Amino acid sequence: MRLLLLRHGQTPSNVDGLLDTASPGPGLTPLGERQAAAVPHAFRDRQVDAIAVSSLVRTSLTAEPLARERGIEPVSLAGLREIEAGGLEMASTHEAHMRYLDTVFGWARGDVDRAMPGGPDGRAFLARYDEAVAKIAAGGWDSVVVVSHGAAIRAWVAARVAGVDIDHAERTALANTGLVEIEGDLDGGWRLTAWSAEPVGGPGVDALLADDPTGEPLDD
């Protein structure tokens, strides 16, 4: 089975550098809409049997052009939502961004008892994302586009997927509509096949000016 883990398109909160993780969350910027519109062409040669989205509206909006073109009704799974920022919600400082990312990548390194300030610990996050992936795997599809979120994708892949260098996951950004591809199954585990940090639509839909907290690299 192949999972194509696609980050959602740009939101106003990504541009403003806000840790905006609550439900239902913001919609897309005009650039985010163009990023979403570029996905069907970017996946033109890809097998897509199903599309899964999180419960946050930005993932459904990102998936909509691909779902319409392929005639697929997306499956909504709350477990795919972004990692809750807790007491850091709507924070905009660089220090808050780094504390958030340091916490989630600490989980990937095994420190799962560590909690986000006023938020979940690593066990809670990994359990609900694992459950969502298990539901997708139970669908019996060969290739699924999973539209999720920057920190959630990076942290879960770093924790659960073979062949991932956690240092690389920390230091590599995942732009809006960046893509992480994995293969495998629940019994044999997952392995990394590709990590495309830039938008799948190419440089024409790249964000040149944005302070994007959940997709940025973790400072040294």
Per-position DSSP letters for 156-181, written without gaps between them: HHHHHEET--HHHHHHS---TT-EEE
Set 8, 64, 170, 216: catalytic member: 8
pLDDT for position 125: 98
50-53 and 2-7 strand pairing:
unpaired
Give yes or no: 131 in active site.
no
Set 33, 64, 82, 170: catalytic member: 82
Mean pLDDT across the stretch 63-81? Answer: 98
Give residue limits of the domains in the chain: 2-205
Give yes or no: 149 in active site.
no
Q: Which two tokens stand for residue 207?
A: 């964000």
- Give the model's confidence band at 210: pLDDT under 50 very low, under 70 low, under 90 confident, else very high: low
Choice between 64 and 170, residue whose per-residue pLDDT is larger: 64
Dihedral of alpha carbons 177, 189, 106, 170, sign: negative
- Give the model's confidence band at 94: pLDDT under 50 very low, under 70 low, under 90 confident, else very high: very high
pLDDT for position 209: 57
Choice between 168 and 135, residue whose per-residue pLDDT is larger: 135
Into which CATH architecture does domain 2-205 fall? 3-Layer(aba) Sandwich (3.40)
pLDDT for position 169: 87
pLDDT for position 88: 98
